[in-house]
Amino acid sequence: MPEHLRAPAPRCQVPPWPGGPLCYVERVEQDKKIVIVKTGEPVPPVLERRGHFADLIERTIGAAWRGGYATFDARTDDFPAPEGPGIAAFVITGSSANVPHREGWMLRAEAWLRDVVRAGTPTFGICFGHQILAQALGGEVIRNPRGREIGRIRVQRRADDPLFDGLPSSFETHATHIDTVGTLPEGARSLAFNELDDHQVIRFSNTCYGVQFHPEMDHDVIAGYIAWRREILEAEGLDVPALLARLAPDQLGTRTLLNFIEHIVERRARRTPSA
């Protein structure tokens, strides 16, 4: 594994191996890492106050994952193997970059992501991560003809899926994006939508999902995005005070990331213990 993926030992300690089935599961998780694929940074005020996307993602997952984490930068670092005994999953962050710009690092990332999905390694894309997965697998990402989506939004489910365990038929979450998946890859299924985006959640395979919203962003983070982009939003005719007034501490989109850990990552980790 490349040196930049060698993260410190997990903060949580587990009981000795002979402790029984639960202990076995915890030991398997401890030996594996969720690898966060960095594709950008939060806006400057959020980065300064709350940290990198990896920090937000790790705090959101919290106790749902007992293993470790590693991070690599898809823009500058070498890509790890698409599967391996020490890798539990990949989580692809958001970014201010635009998939339709087709930058060189994006093309390299897309080729690698095709190998990751083919290998069956659990993968979860957030916003830009959701979009680059769609582009990599044969879909098309475009500038959203319906305009920018930012703030607290309501998402409507199309179907049942383990990703929606414990969620109602519609739920509120936080989003900030101006591009959208215009065409689905072959075999992908759109699982949720709203009035501004037809594909808020996509299942690309049994182990690969993308969400257009940000399950890792609480109301403080999305408020920071709205404040940072105030002039742009006002120029586009959006009501910034109304956007801020809609924010609230609870956002159910977080549940999709936790369900991905519980139903996809942990289940696969138990089937394929580390060497």
Q: Just list the catalytic residues.
A: 127, 214, 216
| Secondary structure letter of residue 39 according to DSSP | -
Contact 53, 41 (CB under 8 A): yes
Q: What are phi and psi of 40, to 5 degrees?
A: 175, -175
Give Cα separations from 159 to 33, 189, 200, 242 (angstroms). Answer: 30, 10, 12, 31
Residue 69, Cβ neighbours under 10 Å: how many?
A: 21
User: How would you classify the pairing of strands 208-211 and 123-126?
Assistant: parallel
CB 106 within 8 A of CB 99: yes
Instruction: Return the half-sphere exposure (C-beta side, CA atoms, 13 A cut-off) of residue 123.
Output: 28
> Which residues, 6+ apart, have CB-to-CB distance to 247 below 8 Å?
151, 152, 174, 219, 222, 223
User: H/E/C letters for each residue in 144-172?
Assistant: CCCCCEEEEEEEEECCCCHHHCCCCCEEE
Is the Cβ–Cβ distance between 139 and 202 less than 8 Å? no
